[in-house]
Amino acid sequence: MMNGVVSIRNKNGEEKVKIERPGGSSSPIWSIAWNPSKDEHNDILAVADWGQKLSFYQLSGKQIGKDRTLTYDPCCVSYFSKGEYIVMGGSDKQASLYTKDGVRLGTIGEQNSWVWTCRVKPDSNFVVLGCQDGTIACYQLIFSTVHGLYKDRYAYRDSMTDVIVQHLITEQKVRIKCRELVKKIAIYRNRLAIQLPEKILIYELYSDDSSDMHYRIKEKICRKFECNLLVVCSQHIILCQEKRLQCLSFTSVREKEWVMESLIRYIKVIGGPPGREGLLVGLKNGAILKIFVDNPFPITLLKLSTSVRCLDMSASRNKLAVVDEHNTLLVYDINSKELLFQEPNANSVAWNTQCEDMLCFSGNGYLNIKASNFPVHQQKMQGFMVGYNGSKIFCLHVYSMSAVEVPQSAPMYQYLERKMFKEAYQIACLGVTDSDWRDLATEALEGLDFDTAKKAFIRIRDLRYLELINSIEERKKRGENDNELFLADVYAYQGKFHEAAKLYKRTGQESRALSMYTDLRMFEYAKEFVGVTDPKSSRILMTKQADWAKSSKEPRAAAEMYLSAGEHLKAIDIIGEHGWADMLIDIARKLDKAEREPLAKCAFYFKKLKHHGYASETYSKMGDLQALVQLHVETRHWDEAFSLVEKHSQFKNDVFVPYAQWLAENDRFEEAQKAFHKAGRQNEAVKVLEQLTHNAVVENRFNDAGYYYWMLSMQCLDIARESEEQRDKMLKKFERFQHLAELYHVYRSIQRYTVRTRYFDEPFSSHMPETLFNICRFLLNNLTKDIPPGISKVNTLYALAKQSGKLGAYKLARYSYEKLQDLHIPSRFQESIELGSLTVRSKPFHDSEDLIEGMMCYRCSTNNPLLNNQGSVCINCRQPFIYSSSSYEVLPLVQFYLEDGIGDEEAVSLIDLEVPHTDQRDARWQDMDNGELQALRMDDGFDDAEEDPFTAKMSFEQGGSNFVPVKVSRLVLRSMSRRDVLIKRWPRPLKWEYFRSLLPDVSITMCPTCFKMFHSEDYELLVLQHNCCPYCRRPIDEPN
């Protein structure tokens, strides 16, 4: 409106938005227009007033940007149909073109009067003006392409005021907003030059990275230039004005100027050092010049008869491609000025920047690729080709630049046809398919160009052919140079077997051809190749065919073929692996006994198949007695082994040692001992038994451990008897093992009791409480500081505490519980021990008299404590107690020794001379005290001590700390009754031990093997239960 207000109303005329301009009535609104663009996010209204302002508003009334100042009164505003440009006219008598943001781009046309109206034809570039004088004018606007290209960077003008730089490989784009009309663009390496109406801007990249797209302003040349072409270098800009070239520094200093003889049609930077770049210049008169920035004198390269349209120089600067005004492509050798070839229908040309001999040119809707002097390869393409880098061709179609990936297969095959493998490889590196690479590799291999073939096979990762090439190269290093042989190997790898065989035969390598056919299972071809004249080759062929039959899972056929070929070992392997014993024994019987290796293999398989008889027959045929003995031993055919040893005693150790080990493993220790003796290997017997003993202890088989220790002790005794050197050592071991045997024997009962306690509060036990009580006391009295492995003091004290409580030995029970508090107690006993410890404190602090009387010494009649820290001896006379090996009660036995000069045989004979007693009375004990010597003797009712001389011998000196043994004379021996004396008849080197029973009514039995004492009733019961001695396991029917 004239008052400077814009009113936006709906279709009913209702006002929705009111925009008041700052100038008010002094700035009447003369023209408005809506932007028709569909790409804008908001509706935009352009407002032109006679305050000489152009403004833009959103539909909401909010102003966009600032007012644009005009130099005239605008009378009309019109948008292009897509909203990218605005046309305005007014009092300046001309129509002007603006961007959609209001930036003036230029004048469309000048008139003689005011322009009152202007309109743009929809979807076209036609503009119509209406003037005050009645004139109507129509103009067509042509928007020229302003762009620049250097290798893979392309810069072009967008929206007339912006510059977009596009990386053709990575497809990255960056927009540079100049806000003025962009007139010219030039790009080179890291430089970008943009010419605006009043200045030139020089940009540079932030970094040297080839993919960097960040530009910054390096220089501004604030001068107006008029030029046809603009070129930028590292340190200069080149302005082209028809015939003249001017070189300016970035500081606007004109350094050089060249004036040409004709108009300049084409100019291109062809690279060079910074500040010394070279330019390629094409003139209208056909002259082609090379100009260096630092050289005032142009160099004429060629002079054509027609005008130059497009130019490019190859990567090595040796060839020049020219497109003339007749659209003919001419390629020259720069050095010789010779025309190499020419092609028609070209409008642009470019050499490949990575390959010297390749160029491409476009024309008539086709893209043409030419390699060297081969025929041209064509494909359809829209647009204008402007660059060629590797396998990518840069194509400008209308206003967009794109990188087209072009396979280089056609030129590569052209080189392959001429066997130019290295050149073909260079082309392939630009970009071909995997199948093309394989074809190149194969052709190069057949052409014996191993270097190229190797590179190509590496590219497709074909390890099989690479191995072939490496083997050929190694052979060449060793001096082989027969190319036909190499080619034969290549043909064989390629599957051209017949051609390979012919070449092998030609080179005298028939064996290789034979190996090739047999490896491929082509046995018929192999037979044809060999013929019937060569029996050796026929045999080799038969062997190969057998190999194939074996791998084809036809073992019987393979075995028969091996036998036919004389390959007995391979045949035997197959037959043996499949267990065909009948076929194997036929072979063994047919073989000569001198063929030891096949026979040995037959015997090996017979052993494996457990055909003992066949193996024995084979070894006998070979005469290999050592192997025969080993066979009998391995198969446990001991009778055959013993009969062989009887004839050949040198194999004694080879039989008896494994026999003894087998017996020991099967718990037949006595037989094993005899076998070790026969082999003279007592030490090994000891080792086997020690290992078995250790295992029994680890596995808590304490009954077996006790038995094995007893066996070990007897083994040591045997060694001591036979070896003077080891006697002392073995006797010590004997005593130690005897002691351990007894400890483990008794601990078995305690261990069983405590294991059952885990599951039952009052466990069942095979022993009476008195027996278990005695066993615990015996074990604790005999345990030293070094407790044997497996024996638990906690278990022993726990069992003793429980049994003591049952039998009324409360003092001993309290002692046991106190001792347990000092030990590490398992959690399963913790509650029971704590409860028992509390319970026993409510009991009297003394032990049962009956139990104490059971520990009376039969030598001095002293009552001993239930637990004795001195061991199993009397605290008074130091006489060792003799225990029953079943109930572990103290037996009424006293050990006595012979006086010097009395031998065992004589002592036995004297004891056997029993003197009959005329009167038997009840025995009674009587103290004898003569002031210095306190003695205990047994009084048979006679006042004369000669009635029982042994009783007199039992006297001892009171108060002595050393044990005084009972020594008897011949007279005392003669007075003894045979039934009262027990003798442990130990074998040498041990001495016999003699024991006198002081209570003849108590029946005592001694095992004749282990010499353990038992109450006769207990022993008989145990023997009936176990059918053997409970300690040494001697069968009852075995003679002593």
Q: Is the pLDDT of residue 124 over 70?
A: yes
Find the mean pLDDT for residues 186-201: 92
Please answer whether residues 432 and 409 qualify as being in contact, where contact means their C-beta atoms are separated by less than 8 angstroms.
Answer: yes
Find the mean pLDDT for residues 700-707: 85
Higher-pLDDT residue of 114 and 695 is: 114
Label residue 4 by pLDDT band (50, 70, 90).
Answer: confident
Find the mean pLDDT for residues 938-964: 60
Find the mean pLDDT for residues 88-102: 92
The residue written with tokens 């020794």 in the block is: 897
| pLDDT for residue 130 | 94
| pLDDT for residue 507 | 76
In sequence order, what are the residues at sequence separation of 6 or more whose Cβ sits closer than 8 angstroms to the Cβ of residue 834? Answer: none
Q: Is the pLDDT of residue 56 over 90?
A: yes
Find the mean pLDDT for residues 316-325: 91
Higher-pLDDT residue of 629 and 49 is: 49
Instruction: Give the ranges where 384-532 is alpha helix by DSSP (H).
Output: 409-417, 421-431, 434-446, 450-460, 463-477, 483-494, 497-506, 510-519, 523-530
Asked which of 638-642, 717-721, 759-763, 910-914 is least confident by mean pLDDT, the reply is 759-763
Strands 44-49 and 339-343: unpaired
Residues of the chain with pLDDT > 90: what percent?
19
Q: What is the dihedral of CA 878, 882, 887, 892, to 10 degrees?
A: -100
Label residue 186 by pLDDT band (50, 70, 90).
Answer: very high
pTM of the model: 0.49
Q: Is the pLDDT of residue 918 over 50?
A: no
User: To which H or E segment does residue 382 belong?
Assistant: none
Label residue 945 by pLDDT band (50, 70, 90).
Answer: very low
Asked which of 839-848, 882-891, 910-919 is least confident by mean pLDDT, the reply is 910-919
Find the mean pLDDT for residues 911-932: 48
Please answer whether residues 599 and 622 qualify as being in contact, where contact means their C-beta atoms are separated by less than 8 angstroms.
Answer: yes
Q: Is the pLDDT of residue 928 over 50?
A: no
| pLDDT for residue 946 | 47
Asked which of 61-70, 103-112, 623-632 is least confident by mean pLDDT, the reply is 623-632
Label residue 219 by pLDDT band (50, 70, 90).
Answer: very high
| pLDDT for residue 566 | 56
Q: Is the pLDDT of residue 938 over 60?
A: no
From the CB of residue 488, how many other CB atoms can be counted at a distance below 10 Å?
Answer: 25
Rounded Cα distance between 953 and 962, Å, is: 17
| pLDDT for residue 397 | 79
Compute the C-alpha angle 392/394/397, nearest 5°: 140
Higher-pLDDT residue of 578 and 12 is: 12
Residue 245: both structure tokens together: 């070239």
Peptide bond into 763 cis (omega under 30): no
What are the counts of helices (DSSP H) followed by strands (DSSP E) for the chain?
Answer: 31, 48
In tens, the pLDDT along 265-281 reads 999 998 889 999 999 99
In tens, the pLDDT along 404-424 reads 888 788 888 888 888 888 888
- Bridge partners (DSSP) listed for residue 155: 148, 165
Residue 708, Cβ density class (10 Å: 0-12 exposed, 13-18 middle, ≥19 buried): buried
Q: Is the pLDDT of residue 924 over 50?
A: no
Find the mean pLDDT for residues 925-929: 39
Find the mean pLDDT for residues 594-598: 66
Find the mean pLDDT for residues 894-900: 89
Label residue 927 by pLDDT band (50, 70, 90).
Answer: very low
In tens, the pLDDT along 323-370 reads 999 999 999 999 998 998 889 989 899 988 888 888 999 988 888 888
Q: Is the pLDDT of residue 615 over 70?
A: no
| pLDDT for residue 274 | 92
Strands 400-405 and 115-120: unpaired
In tens, the pLDDT along 799-816 reads 888 888 888 888 888 888
| pLDDT for residue 954 | 74
Instruction: Give the ranges where 593-668 is alpha helix by DSSP (H).
Output: 596-608, 612-622, 625-634, 638-647, 652-665
| pLDDT for residue 532 | 44
Instruction: Please give the single-letter amino acid code of residue 180.
Output: E
| pLDDT for residue 618 | 64
Residues of the chain with pLDDT > 70: what percent?
78
Asked which of 293-307, 562-576, 774-788, 861-875 is least confident by mean pLDDT, the reply is 562-576
| pLDDT for residue 370 | 87
Higher-pLDDT residue of 40 and 603 is: 40
Query: Residue 489: which of 474, 471, 476 has the closest Cα?
Result: 471
Find the mean pLDDT for residues 233-244: 92
Strands 893-898 and 966-968: parallel
What's the mean per-residue pLDDT of the chain? 80
Find the mean pLDDT for residues 84-90: 92
- Length of the chain equals 1040
N-to-C CA span, the chain: 148
Label residue 943 by pLDDT band (50, 70, 90).
Answer: very low
The DSSP code for 1028 is B
Does residue 16 come out as left (phi exceeding 0), alpha (psi in the -120 to 50 range) or beta? Answer: alpha
Q: Is the pLDDT of residue 771 over 70?
A: yes
| pLDDT for residue 567 | 59
What radius of gyration, in Å, describes the C-alpha atoms of the chain?
Answer: 62
Asked which of 284-288, 430-434, 568-572, 952-956 is least confident by mean pLDDT, the reply is 568-572
Residue 435, Cβ density class (10 Å: 0-12 exposed, 13-18 middle, ≥19 buried): exposed
Label residue 33 by pLDDT band (50, 70, 90).
Answer: very high
Label residue 290 by pLDDT band (50, 70, 90).
Answer: very high
Please answer whether residues 800 and 780 qualify as being in contact, where contact means their C-beta atoms are separated by less than 8 angstroms.
Answer: yes
User: To which H or E segment does residue 873 belong?
Assistant: none
Strand order in the sheet with 966-968: 966-968, 893-898, 993-997, 981-984
- Bridge partners (DSSP) listed for residue 477: none
Label residue 551 by pLDDT band (50, 70, 90).
Answer: low
Rounded Cα distance between 826 and 671, Å, is: 42
Query: Residue 199: which of 229, 178, 169 has the closest Cα?
Result: 178
Please answer whether residues 530 and 542 qualify as being in contact, where contact means their C-beta atoms are separated by less than 8 angstroms.
Answer: no
SS (H, E, C) 922-976: CCEEEEEECCCCEEEEEECCCCCHHHCHHHHHCCCCCCCCCCCCEEECHHHHHHC
Find the mean pLDDT for residues 738-759: 80
- Give the CB-side neighbour count of residue 289, counting CA atoms within 13 A: 25
Find the mean pLDDT for residues 816-826: 82
Rounded Cα distance between 285 and 306, Å, is: 6
Label residue 448 by pLDDT band (50, 70, 90).
Answer: confident
| pLDDT for residue 746 | 86
In tens, the pLDDT along 841-882 reads 777 777 777 777 778 888 888 888 888 878 888 888 888 888
Rounded Cα distance between 312 and 319, Å, is: 9
Residue 912: both structure tokens together: 């056997």
Residue 703: both structure tokens together: 């009954």
